[in-house]
């Protein structure tokens, strides 16, 4: 028999409550705009 329990808060809310890890802080400082621009260029 399974008992369903309601969520107290969403996964997104839980993630907001967690302190940022070192890798998240590093990724937040990176500028990916040049990489994304290269990926969107048409071939040829």
pLDDT for position 18:
76
Domain membership of residue 17 (yes or no) is yes
Domain membership of residue 4 (yes or no) is no
Distance CA 40, CA 33 (A): 11
pLDDT for position 44:
56
Domain membership of residue 25 (yes or no) is yes
Domain membership of residue 21 (yes or no) is yes
Domain membership of residue 1 (yes or no) is no
CA 15 from centre of chain: 9
Domain membership of residue 5 (yes or no) is no
Domain membership of residue 31 (yes or no) is yes
Domain count, the chain: 1
The secondary structure of 17-28 as a DSSP string is HSPPPHHHHHHH
Domain residues for the domain of 16 are 11-40
- pLDDT digits 0-9 by tens, 4-13: 777 777 888 8
- pLDDT digits 0-9 by tens, 1-44: 677 777 777 888 877 777 778 888 888 889 999 988 989 887 75
Domain membership of residue 2 (yes or no) is no
């Amino acid at each position: 028999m399974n008992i369903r329990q309601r969520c107290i808060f969403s996964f997104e809310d839980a993630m907001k409550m967690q302190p940022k890890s070192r890798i998240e802080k590093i990724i937040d400082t990176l500028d990916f705009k040049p990489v994304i621009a290269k990926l969107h260029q048409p071939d040829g």
